[in-house]
Amino acid sequence: MTLHDFLFGAFIYLTAAAISVPVAKRLGLGSVLGYLIAGILIGPYVLGLTSGDDVLHFAEFGVVMMLFIIGLELRPSLLWMMRQSILGLGGMQVVLTAFFIFAAGLSFSLNWREALAVGLILSLSSTAIVLQTLRERGVMRSEPGQNAFSVLLFQDISVIPMLAMLPLLTVPDFWMGININEANASHSMIDNLPAWQRAPLVLGALVSIIVAGRYVLRPAFRYIAESRIREAFTAAALLIVVAIALLMETVGLSPALGTFVAGVMLADSEYRVELEMDIEPFKGLLLGLFFMSVGASVNFALIAADPLLIAGLVVGLIVIKLFVLYLLGRVFRMQVNSSLMFACFLAQGSEFAFVLFSFATQNVVLTQELANKLIAVVAVSMALTPLLLIAYDKLIARRLQAAPEEPEYDEIENGETPAIIVGYGRFGMTVGRLLAANGIGFTVLEHDPSQIELLRKFGWSVYYGDASRPDLLHAAGAEEAKLLVIALDDRDQILSVADAAQKHFPHLKIFARAYDRRHAFELMNAGIENVYRETFGTSLEMGKDALHALGFRAYKAHRLAQKFRTHDEQSLREMAKLIDDEEALITETHKAQELAERLMREDRQSAPDMDDTDWKAPPPELRERG
């Protein structure tokens, strides 16, 4: 490929994406459908600018990256908690769907080997499309979202035994000459090894990923982070993904599975957020490329040759999937509404099907003709997923929506991390300790690696990163969080984090640390409601104790301090409006000080009065009555 070819290809794909994705998104169709349509448009049957096949394999790397990112968000403990839905729901889904398709295949006069292969391959759903859609709709953490994810995870794992099983389904005469990894474009080093040697190698590869994730990668990342060169970190992050994918290919495992495991292993590490953010743009682009190449590879000639058959098969596939998924959703105690949503998400063929079908033809399990038709069916079913979900929104969700019961009171957030704390020094830590003591989860962002090291030794989970970048806030979970505590020690950084958070995550409640009055003014004028002057509380405490030491009764001193605080905070808000007018500010400050003195004096004088006239000794008119 010459540079010109490469640039031309890139030009075509990027143009298609830049035009159709925003349009699709604006029409409420979601980005996945936008990419698919773009792919169809530039594909061989419309404009004929690309065939799609050339980039499909390359673009699959986007799926690998996506699973790495998904892994990063799933701590091992969480994965363990999900074991029931992964094995139960996922396992049942694959077995039942495969069985129904197998039965349908037999009735279409396929032999049992073909029917079984088709059933297994079509039981899978598209990880790429479903996860992208789940995230885009913000339902990743909902019940149907979590369950859909569990099913996808099981399916990804089950690809491995499927790859092993397909050659066994072949006609026995052909068995001897077949090489398991022929379908893979890469050349496995261990192809020629017998199975008993291969198994320990595969196991060893997985174990080495787990061990490296735990003990090698973290110090390495720390070393790189301390250099403070951003590109170096990005390069390292990409290197991890590429290296693991390569290792997995070599031992004949799914690269997506390998990077997923590595992601899970790094989910606890302080570099999770930064890693996620560095990989994200690559993943996004490659995934887009992947969807476009799926669109471009839809074989319209084949569909046009026998449209009724293909349409029938697509409908059959979707109906069987919907039926099985809905049933399982109900069996696993989801509401009708959630079950339907869950079913609509997963009712399509998988990108793995492209690989598996060509693998199956090479192993002479399926004829080329049948495989081509089924590949077209899978591609169409993938393209229909966004439409199916739109139909769900329009037709079902609205009708089933029971009147949402308003909670009487704010329930205490039980979500994973309702709060983000930026800056975990002497200020942020107290906030965090109080939250933690009350069982509230939060994500901490800190930009000093040595501070992180120290905090981690004390058992805090702290992440590395500069929070004034909106993408990092996003990766820290700003989308789902309710509260952002900005407790950095740099006044400009506090302002820029507050600014970024307000602009990109308007739903977040922001609590900001203010260095002094002037900084408090700036924050207030930037629209931050909750501003905490960093030494105000403590010095007020001291002032109160000073009054007490000078002879005021403790409760009196306490009341005066409360009054002073109320007044001071009010006047602070007033004065914030005058920040640019120094003269007015000075005048106002004097006025406020006078007012404070008057208030205090009043309280001092009225106290004995109040005590005597109102409470202890009733005034004359009361005595008359009482």
Partner 1 sequence: MKILVLAAHPTLEASVVCRKLLAGIRREAGISVVDLYERYPDFNIDVAAEQKRLEAADLIIFQHPFYWYSTPAILKEWTDLVLEHGWAYGRTGKALEGKFLMNALSTGGSADAYGETGKNRFTVPEFLAPIAQTASLCKMSYLPPFVVFEGRRLEWAQLAESAGLYKDLLTGLRDDRIDPRALARYRLANNAAGKLYGVEAKPA
Q: Which stretches of the chain bind partner 1, using CB under 8 A?
A: 408-409, 562, 566, 613-615, 619, 621-622, 625
Q: Which helix (H) or strand (E) holds 377?
A: helix 368-391
379 Cβ contact list (under 8 Å, min separation 6) = 294, 295, 297, 298, 299, 349
What b/e string do you get for 307-326 counting C-beta neighbours within 10 Å, with b at 16 or more? eeebeebbebbbebbbebbb
Q: What amino acid is encoded at 16 in this protein?
A: A
Q: Identify which of residues 330 and 567 has a Cβ nearer to partner 1 in the complex.
A: 567
Is 402 exposed, middle or buried, given 0-12, 13-18 or 19+ CB atoms closer than 10 A? exposed
Instruction: For the CB of residue 558, give the shortest distance to partner 1 in the complex, in Å.
Output: 9
Instruction: For the CB of residue 438, give the shortest distance to partner 1 in the complex, in Å.
Output: 12
Instruction: For the CB of residue 602, give the shortest distance to partner 1 in the complex, in Å.
Output: 13
Q: Identify which of residues 25 and 559 has a Cβ nearer to partner 1 in the complex.
A: 559
Instruction: For the CB of residue 615, give the shortest distance to partner 1 in the complex, in Å.
Output: 7
**How crowded is residue 434: how many other Cβ atoms within 10 Å of its Cβ?**
10
Q: How far is CA 382 from CA 164, 324, 592, in A?
A: 25, 18, 67
Q: Identify which of residues 219 and 626 has a Cβ nearer to partner 1 in the complex.
A: 626
Q: Identify which of residues 422 and 561 has a Cβ nearer to partner 1 in the complex.
A: 561
Report yes or no: 354 and 377 within 8 Å, Cβ to Cβ. no
Instruction: For the CB of residue 520, give the shortest distance to partner 1 in the complex, in Å.
Output: 21
Backbone angles phi, psi at 464, to 5 degrees: -90, 135
Instruction: For the CB of residue 436, give the shortest distance to partner 1 in the complex, in Å.
Output: 20
Instruction: For the CB of residue 98, give the shortest distance to partner 1 in the complex, in Å.
Output: 47
Instruction: For the CB of residue 405, give the shortest distance to partner 1 in the complex, in Å.
Output: 11
Q: What amino acid is encoded at 35 in this protein?
A: Y
Instruction: For the CB of residue 562, give the shortest distance to partner 1 in the complex, in Å.
Output: 5
Q: Identify which of residues 425 and 618 has a Cβ nearer to partner 1 in the complex.
A: 618
Q: Identify which of residues 25 and 565 has a Cβ nearer to partner 1 in the complex.
A: 565
Q: Identify which of residues 399 and 625 has a Cβ nearer to partner 1 in the complex.
A: 625
Q: Identify which of residues 200 and 619 has a Cβ nearer to partner 1 in the complex.
A: 619
What b/e string do you get for 583-620 counting C-beta neighbours within 10 Å, with b at 16 or more? eebeebeeebeeeeeeeeeeeeeeeeeeeeeeeeeeee
**What is the pairing mode between strands 509-514 and 530-533?**
parallel
Instruction: For the CB of residue 573, give the shortest distance to partner 1 in the complex, in Å.
Output: 16
Mapping DSSP to helix (H, G, I), strand (E, B) and coil, where does residue 509 land? strand
Distance CA 391, CA 431 (A): 46
Mapping DSSP to helix (H, G, I), strand (E, B) and coil, where does residue 530 land? strand
Report yes or no: 56 and 294 within 8 Å, Cβ to Cβ. yes
Rg (CA), the chain: 31
Instruction: For the CB of residue 80, give the shortest distance to partner 1 in the complex, in Å.
Output: 31
Greatest Cα-to-Cα distance within the chain, rounded to the nearest angstrom:
118
Q: Identify which of residues 81 and 554 has a Cβ nearer to partner 1 in the complex.
A: 554
Beta bridge partners of 533: 514
Q: Identify which of residues 551 and 620 has a Cβ nearer to partner 1 in the complex.
A: 620
Q: Identify which of residues 26 and 625 has a Cβ nearer to partner 1 in the complex.
A: 625
Q: Identify which of residues 26 and 616 has a Cβ nearer to partner 1 in the complex.
A: 616
Q: Identify which of residues 466 and 603 has a Cβ nearer to partner 1 in the complex.
A: 603
Task: Report residue 259 as tokens.
Answer: 């990077």
Report yes or no: 263 and 67 within 8 Å, Cβ to Cβ. yes
Instruction: For the CB of residue 516, give the shortest distance to partner 1 in the complex, in Å.
Output: 24
Distance CA 270, CA 117 (A): 43
**How crowded is residue 396: how many other Cβ atoms within 10 Å of its Cβ?**
15
Q: Identify which of residues 306 and 614 has a Cβ nearer to partner 1 in the complex.
A: 614
Instruction: For the CB of residue 622, give the shortest distance to partner 1 in the complex, in Å.
Output: 7
Helices (H), 166-271: 195-211, 217-226, 230-251, 255-266
Instruction: For the CB of residue 572, give the shortest distance to partner 1 in the complex, in Å.
Output: 17
515: left (phi over 0), alpha (psi -120 to 50) or beta: alpha
Q: Which helix (H) or strand (E) holds 147?
A: helix 143-165
Instruction: For the CB of residue 539, give the shortest distance to partner 1 in the complex, in Å.
Output: 18
Q: Which helix (H) or strand (E) holds 484?
A: strand 483-486
Sign, CA torsion 467/469/474/480: positive
Match 């993943």 to its residue by tokens.
Answer: 283
